[in-house]
Structure 1
Amino acid sequence: MIIIGLVMFPSFKAGEMEDMVTDSRDDPQTDFIYCFGANTEVLKFGSCQLHSGHKILFLIIPGNPGVVGFYRTFMQTLHRMFGYRHPVWAVSHAGHCVPPDSMDMVEDASLAAEGDVFGLILIGHSIGCYIILEMIRRDPELKVLKAVMLFPTIERMAQTPQGKVMTPVLCQMRYVAYLPLFLLSLLPDRLKTSLIKLVFGGIHSLDLSVVQPTVGLLSGDCAANAMYMGGQEMKKVLERDNITIRKNLEKLIFYYGATDHWCPIQYYLDIKKDFPHGDIRLCENGFRHAFVLDTGREVAKMVVEWISGDLTTQVL
């Protein structure tokens, strides 16, 4: 699940990327901030500070686990295809990233416990598509002209094939996994890397840039926080917010997986029936739900093709 918030669109020709080569502009900056008392990572391609000259911001809100490093290739491709002109940022979920040594996981432990910051936080740095609908609902004046909803889990998560398996694990048996997670966190990073590559060995075109973020996820409390958030998703992502979708239908692009166990094809058929005039697409490329593992570049190119027509319109 990823949301790309578009404040305004530039003029662009999709073919411009093909002749580009990697340069220093492909290197992102990582910032760590406390958001509502919880350590949060922000991955930034392009400008690290927004100013009046910026007319567009691509904002990526990841799925779960909300580790922004998983989206590096996807973000880098977007940044390059737009000629490095516009910042592309991603915000991690609270507590899903390993903080630097100078920062604690939470700024104030009592505040974190009181505010439940590692759950389903509906203030802009939580799970992608569901959260962006909530953001639009809460603030109708939010200047988002387009929201691209990739593999959207916006309804009935516990009733999906994967949800039926994971709900008891995440909601009732989560604590059983904490001990092995703790033991894994004690392993040296080199051994963690080897184990992760072994687990991912079945993915033919694995994007190696996802290995290091996975190593980080197995450090400290990150995986436990991701599991807790998953349990909250099973409990809280229930009915589709048709009212918000209907009010903002022209802003939304939905892209459903053809074999997505977190969002079965019946959900695509249902929303297509309810919103026949919406831009609602079904994957024809065989992309997996966790597309960042092997097709981040391909999905980014596809997104650019979708919105390239709107870009010129908005600039003119």
Structure 2
Amino acid sequence: MADEGSHWSSDFVPIMDMPTHVMKCGQLPPLAEQSDTPSPNPRFLFLVIPGNPGIIGYYQVFMEELWRLSGCSVPVWGISNGGHVAIPNSNNNLDLVKTSYQVCSLQGQIKHKVAFVKEHVPQDVKVVLIGHSIGCYMILHMMSGLRDSHHVLRAFLLFPTIERMAESPKGQIATPLLKYLRWLGLGIVYILSYLSPHLQYRMILWYFRDRHVHGSVYNASMNLFDPFTVGNVIYMALQEMLTVKELDVALVQEHLPKLKFYYGVEDYWCPQKYYREMKAKFPHADVRICEKGLDHAFVIDSSEDMAAILWDWFKPDLHKAVD
């Protein structure tokens, strides 16, 4: 789908000196001074902040469907996490490795996203942030960083890993692996990186053999044979386990009117216990649980369902902002 229609663009954009994969489905309508037929309505933008691995190609079907549901009127842009997509012709040069130390930490990724918005999104645009997994944690901190420069209309936090990650069922397994065996995992990827792309692709097909998966998911997964990419993914994952601890209640309270939380029924990264506690802490907040049983990694085979749910949420905000 990417690069198959005039509504798509896919480029590597330098952000904080890190070439970053940015995908855009649809373009912003022109301002009055830029066109003889400007849009009479406010300009809106959906901006997708991914989880980890932060490969925006995984969200391609979700982005396309959300854009289509908007009547092709609201562009949907997505930004990869810095260092999470294999950079063409980079050969893992030393400058990129040095840059990764600044960008690829969890705090660096937050600064990276704020920098993208400030450099590439006009200030008049009403931004709707869509976060997935650790992307939700980033959005909470991004909103503070963008307070004085951009209008964040809403933030949709899907399967939010915003607290006690290491204590979650998946976190209890992942934390010791990331602490003590990450170099083994990276070594395996280094060996697999010497396989031909054809063999790598066949491995991905085998991994997803029992699921109905769009081709964009296969293509996105090819990035996980790149040692530089996987090293950054693992590094950030370890930081998540060590950094994302107790919920920042004051930060959530600060942005609460703009937030919607969406928890999974069986999500082992943010279990139902976290959902119930969030409801108890913020009884007037918009906190929902998925009634369709979507997986935490919804982008693998439930992108259309998630886009339809999110569009239904946003329609009242859109009508209110336009009226």
TM-score category (smaller protein): 0.7 to 0.9
Cα distance between partner residues in 2 of 1:52 and 1:185: 46
Task: Name the structure 2 match of 1:134.
Answer: 141
CA contact (8 A) 1:151 1:257 kept: yes
Q: What is the DSSP-based 3-state SS (H/G/I as helix, E as strand, rest coil) of the residue aligned with 1:108?
A: helix
Distance 1:231 1:24, change over 3 A: closer
CA contact (8 A) 2:16 2:112 kept: no
Deviates more, 1:259-268 or 1:127-136: 127-136
Q: TM-score, normalised by structure 2?
A: 0.84
Deviates more, 1:119-128 or 1:159-168: 119-128
Determine if the alignment matches structure 1 residue 170 to structure 2 residue 178: yes
Task: Name the structure 2 match of 1:16.
Answer: none
1:224 to 231, 235, 250: 231
Q: Where has structure 1 moved over 4 Å in runs of 4 or more?
A: 23-27, 103-107
Letter in 2 for 1:83: G
Alpha-carbon displacement from aligned partner over 1:189-243 (angstroms, at most 9, x marks no partner): 111111111111232x223320011012212421221111101111111121211
2:246 to 239, 245, 256: 239
Cα distance between partner residues in 2 of 1:153 and 1:74: 20
Task: Name the structure 1 match of 2:95.
Answer: 108
Letter in 1 for 2:174: M
Determine if the alignment matches structure 1 residue 196 to structure 2 residue 175: no
2:263 to 253, 256, 281: 256
Cα distance between partner residues in 1 of 2:6 and 2:264: 29
Q: CA deviation at 1:26?
A: 6.9
Cα distance between partner residues in 1 of 2:285 and 2:94: 43
Letter in 2 for 1:302: I
Determine if the alignment matches structure 1 residue 28 to structure 2 residue 8: yes
Deviates more, 1:85-94 or 1:136-145: 136-145
Deviates more, 1:259-268 or 1:192-201: 192-201
Q: What is the DSSP-based 3-state SS (H/G/I as helix, E as strand, rest coil) of the residue aligned with 1:260?
A: coil
Task: Name the structure 2 match of 1:74.
Answer: 62
Amino-acid identity (%)? 37
Structure 2 unaligned residues grouped into runs of 5+: 33-41, 115-133
Q: What is the DSSP-based 3-state SS (H/G/I as helix, E as strand, rest coil) of the residue aligned with 1:263?
A: coil
Task: Name the structure 2 match of 1:15.
Answer: none
Distance 1:110 1:32, change over 3 A: closer
CA contact (8 A) 2:14 2:20 kept: yes
Alpha-carbon displacement from aligned partner over 1:90-123 (angstroms, at most 9, x marks no partner): 100111111122x46568347426x532221221
Q: CA deviation at 1:51?
A: 5.3
Determine if the alignment matches structure 1 residue 304 to structure 2 residue 292: no
Q: TM-score, normalised by structure 1?
A: 0.86
Letter in 1 for 2:69: M
Task: Name the structure 2 match of 1:184.
Answer: 192
Determine if the alignment matches structure 1 residue 39 to structure 2 residue 27: no
Letter in 2 for 1:80: R
Task: Name the structure 2 match of 1:293.
Answer: 300
Task: Name the structure 2 match of 1:146.
Answer: 154
CA contact (8 A) 2:29 2:43 kept: no
Q: What is the DSSP-based 3-state SS (H/G/I as helix, E as strand, rest coil) of the residue aligned with 1:269?
A: helix
Task: Name the structure 2 match of 1:280.
Answer: 287
Q: What is the DSSP-based 3-state SS (H/G/I as helix, E as strand, rest coil) of the residue aligned with 2:87?
A: coil
Cα distance between partner residues in 2 of 1:308 and 1:246: 24
CA contact (8 A) 1:118 1:229 kept: yes
Task: Name the structure 1 match of 2:127.
Answer: none
Cα distance between partner residues in 2 of 1:116 and 1:124: 9
- Please provide the CA RMSD for this pair: 2.3
